[in-house]
Amino acid sequence: MKVAVIYNRESQKVINLFGQPNREKYGLAAIRRITNSLKKGGHQVQAFEGDKDLIDNLEEFMPRTLVGERPGMAFNLSYGIQGQARYTHVPGILEMVGVPYVGSGPLAHSLALDKVVAKMLFVQNGVPTPAFAVLDASGFEMPKLDFPLIVKPKNEAVSFGIRIVNSEEELREASDVIFKEFEQPVLVEQFVEGREINIGLLGNGSTLETFQPAELTFGECGPQIYTEEDKRRTSGREVGVVCPANLDAEIASKAQEIARKAFIVLGCYDCARVDIRMDKDGNLYVLEVNSLPSLGEHGSYVAAADAMGLNFAALVNRLVEVASSRYFGTPNPPELVKARKTPEEKVFAYLTERRDQLEKRIEQWVGISSHSNDVVGIRQAARQVTNMMKEMGLQLNEPLTDSPHIWTWETDKGLKNGTLIICHVDVPYNSSMGGEHFHRDPEWLYGEGIGASRAPLVQLEFALRALQRARKLKMVPLGVMVYADEGRDCDESAEFITKATAEAKEVLVLRPGNINDTVVTGRRGQRRYKAYFQGKPRKLGQAEKQPEVMLKAVSALEDISQLSNRKERLAVSAVDIQAEAYPRLLPHRVTATIQASFPNGRAADQLEQKITDRLKQTKAELALLSDRRSMPTRKINNTLLKRLKEQAENWDIPINTDTSLWPSVAGLVPPQVPVVCGMGPMAQGLYTGQEAVSRISLVQRTLLLAEYLLSQSN
């Protein structure tokens, strides 16, 4: 399990430093001791400061989970940075963002920290506690309590401001210090002469365990209470812990029962330490409940756990198990890799346990440069895919392979009448933009070609490896086609793609999914043309009957752009213009690249004729550069789409449908073969410097692909 240890030590990353600052801190040695213990327990651990960056850090370390996937957990050690009820801050954040955590919730922490409210609840529920009064400001009326008294801030912990007073003068002096230093009311309690007993608790409900009582020993010098200086080890004396305390069995049992009741009254979870005083007659009084007991090496909670047979590492890991029981219903939620009964569960487990590996593999792919015109880079990328296919036992289908443009592999069951998956290994690239290195934020992975090519390749790899782990890959009638000329409009691969898709029962194209978790059921086609405008060389200012060629070209291109029609789903525009001219003369030749988008072939032909007619008026020539066919929305696709949606619903994976302006190889699929495009992870910023793929969609779409292929093995 991923466990995020959250603490407060040095960071003051807040919007403003405002309000009462926190004085409690864990030492670095204690934090390391906890993280090392969790690692020994088999957990993947990182430690984070509980500051304003916490949500981003957690989301990067343990991103959003799938339904049924075991989430990570926070091990909360955070005392807060500033303000009131500081113990509640991090648990409140964790509850808001949906991260399970070890320890009490905001309400219990708030009640425990407000000593007055806690004592009122104790009184109402029959938990014995010393008589008390609350002082709100200097000049207070004397409480009707007998000296000696003990004073402490109303809302602090760790013995801050605590002092025994024996006279009115001492009471007023001590209270004024608290009013000034802590800016809060003062709790005055009847001081109980006697022994101090700590009771540690571990668990919840029927599994709540009470440790053996631990007694604090203060020696002969100094006050017989645990002071702030003692806890900071600056008092000059050593406060000892004796566990189990030398108590009569009946009194020990009674102390445990009182502690248990105090824990329940405040609504604590998982762990707490109840501080109790016992007078000379054996009467027990609850002083307070520490809802975030110290795991420091010298603390009574750790000592009491050790006396119960839990060494430090066992205690820390037991706390995770206790919290797991509360969230997931078992003392130690079973590892998903164990005792699986179905291939579906095996596939799910394989993928969800390898989320880090998925992202690491994408990072490796982003580091491989295979731009559409980079022959060496494409060869390297193709070698990566080839090795992967060999590892998984797929055979090369040579009639459908034309290296270095396109490769096809198939399982033992073969491609014919099976599922064909198509993706591309090249990265369409504008060299003037500069490449984006791999990096991540809590929601997205960024990098050159990551959405268009890299994430789909990793999706394919891990889906097939999951099937291999479930011993089902060989049973799936499956073909995998990877081409390398997407950036060149599939000039070399189109013929092979058309042939392969005609053999398949169905086709899944791993182009990136659109925003809002959509797959693509219809795509417009796209044609690219070159228009050539020819004129005569002329000097600047030279009089001629015909306008100069540049003006003719611009005017014609403007007329052509007017052919765009939103209602008919037609779009046409010039995307590049280049001029040729002799030195000191005006251009005599203009070449323009024209791009057209259309819903179907018939509309494309009609649009092309209209473009040609416009250009004839200027005696310009038109040449077709590329023709990307449209992917019409067809009823035959609905059956395939329905099966995909059924698989998505099984795993609570969102899947919607959409159409796209951009063409893809899905347009090469024959009309009688069902096809769904956009099956890759959801992406944004395609072909820009901010291209990114959704982290959760990467896992969801990989799982969806794997589970769908698994369903075809039966």
For 204-241, give one letter per residue: b (16+ CB within 10 A) or e: beeebbbbbbbbbebeeeeebbbbbebbeeebeeebeb
Average pLDDT, rounded, for the chain: 90
Among all chains, which residue has been given the structure tokens 């069902």?
674
Whether 548 and 650 share a structural domain: no
Question: Would you state the pLDDT for residue 677?
Answer: 97
CATH code assigned at 41 = 3.40.50
Whether 414 and 320 share a structural domain: no
Whether 538 and 411 share a structural domain: no
Residue 439 belongs to some domain of the structure: yes
Residue 176 belongs to some domain of the structure: no
Question: Would you state the pLDDT for residue 622?
Answer: 96
Residue 111, φ and ψ in degrees, nearest 5:
-65, -40
Give 13-31 pLDDT, tens digit per residue: 887 877 677 667 778 899 9
Range 428-454 average pLDDT: 84
CB atoms within 10 A of CB 638: 13
Give 274-321 pLDDT, tens digit per residue: 999 999 999 999 999 999 999 988 789 999 999 999 999 999 999 999
Instruction: Indicate the pLDDT class of residue 59, thresholds 50, 70 and 90.
Output: confident
Give 508-528 pLDDT, tens digit per residue: 999 999 989 999 999 999 999
The answer, yes or no, to whether residue 340 has pLDDT greater than 90, is: no
Which residues span the domain enclosing 611?
525-628
Of 602, 628, 654, which residue is a domain's last?
628
CB atoms within 10 A of CB 408: 26
CA atoms within 13 A on the CB side of 706: 33
Nearest to 431 by CA among 446, 445, 448: 448
CA-to-CA distance for 572 and 557, rounded, in angstroms?
10
Give 136-149 pLDDT, tens digit per residue: 888 888 988 999 99
CA-to-CA distance for 709 and 714, rounded, in angstroms?
10
Both tokens assigned to 714: 């039966």
More confident position, 229 or 70: 70
Strand, coil or helix: 604: helix
Instruction: Indicate the pLDDT class of residue 430, thresholds 50, 70 and 90.
Output: low
Total domain count, the chain: 4
The answer, yes or no, to whether residue 337 has pLDDT greater than 50, is: no
Residue 156 belongs to some domain of the structure: no
In 3-state terms the chain splits into helix, strand, coil percentages (rounded to 5) of 35, 25, 40
Question: Would you state the pLDDT for residue 431?
Answer: 60
Whether 214 and 319 share a structural domain: yes
Tell me how long the chain is. Answer: 714
Residue 179 belongs to some domain of the structure: no
Contact present, 596 and 607 (Cβ < 8 Å): yes
Instruction: Indicate the pLDDT class of residue 230, thresholds 50, 70 and 90.
Output: low
Instruction: Indicate the pLDDT class of residue 436, thresholds 50, 70 and 90.
Output: confident
* pLDDT > 90: percent of the chain: 71
* Strand order across the 101-102 sheet: 44-49, 2-7, 73-76, 101-102
Question: Would you state the pLDDT for residue 70?
Answer: 73
Contact present, 30 and 615 (Cβ < 8 Å): no
Range 149-170 average pLDDT: 81
Q: Tell me the whole-structure pTM to 2 decimals.
A: 0.75
Strand, coil or helix: 653: coil
Query: What residue type is assigned to position 423 of the chain?
Result: C
Contact present, 618 and 552 (Cβ < 8 Å): yes
Residue 17 belongs to some domain of the structure: yes
Range 56-62 average pLDDT: 88
Give 480-490 pLDDT, tens digit per residue: 999 999 999 99
Of 628, 653, 675, which residue is a domain's last?
628
